Amino acid sequence: MLKMENIDGFLREMERYAREHEVPILTEAARPVFSQTVRRTAPLRILELGTAIGYSALLALRESPGASLVTIERDAALAETAKAFLQRAGENYAARVTLLVGEAENLLPTLSGEFDFVFIDAAKSRYPDFWLGVQSLLAPRAVVVADNVLFRGLVEGEGSEAWPKHSYRTMVLRLREYLRIVRTAPGFRTEVFPEGDGMAVSWRDE
């Protein structure tokens, strides 16, 4: 089992693994925004859509020692890798994680209770559906964080005026829809951080 002070080294090992195996995880630029948002929220129940190898899950748990986390991954092989990493991180982490294997859109309706921190980091073309799917699971003061919302600068701002090329079109249009939804959602305040690929943080203020 890893001692608390060794978790940073373990996260570096996971970053190397992700690089070598070309698994997309939180970019270096986006990590501080993510970590600070977790710290600021001090969540007790975290929900993550898109586990990959468990990197952001572990980071979130490092930043919120009292929290438990439910994470959903559709790729069974990646989920196995995540499980192995979490086990190696030790009981203090592994015991706090419930890893569900399957499509987030199918598993969300099976969840119950309230989450005070939701991290959306799965299929970008499904973000509007994920937003809808988590609404009934949100605590009154929840925060919903979505990664990659500016997708390579194609979603909004300078350089996004051209009609996106065919292979990205659906994704870009759905990400624009996501930003429109969160910015106009009653009871939420949203800030979009440009770091990395863009991270939308929506605080529920009710």
Ligand X SMILES: C[S@@+](CC[C@H](N)C(=O)[O-])C[C@H]1O[C@@H](n2cnc3c(N)ncnc32)[C@H](O)[C@@H]1O
The region, left, alpha or beta by phi > 0 then psi within -120 to 50, assigned to residue 42 is left
- Residue 101 burial (C-beta neighbours within 10 Å; 0-12, 13-18, 19+): middle
72 binds ligand X (CB under 6 A): yes
Segment interacting with ligand X (CB under 6 A) among 19-27, 131-139, 156-164, 167-175: 19-27
83 to 112: interface string for ligand X, x by CB under 6 A = --------------------xxx-------
For residues 161 and 123, the answer to whether their CB atoms sit within 8 Å is no
Closer residue to ligand X, CB minimum distance, 117 or 186: 117
Binding residues with ligand X: total (CB under 6 A): 20
CA distance 19 to 53: 12
Applying CB under 6 A, which of residues 45, 62, 74, 96 lies at the interface with ligand X?
74
Task: Report how far apart, in Å, the C-alpha atoms of 38 and of each of 5, 61, 122 are.
Answer: 19, 9, 18
- Kindly list the residues in this chain that would bind ligand X in the complex (CB under 6 A): 24-26, 49-50, 52, 55-56, 72-75, 78, 103-105, 121-123, 126
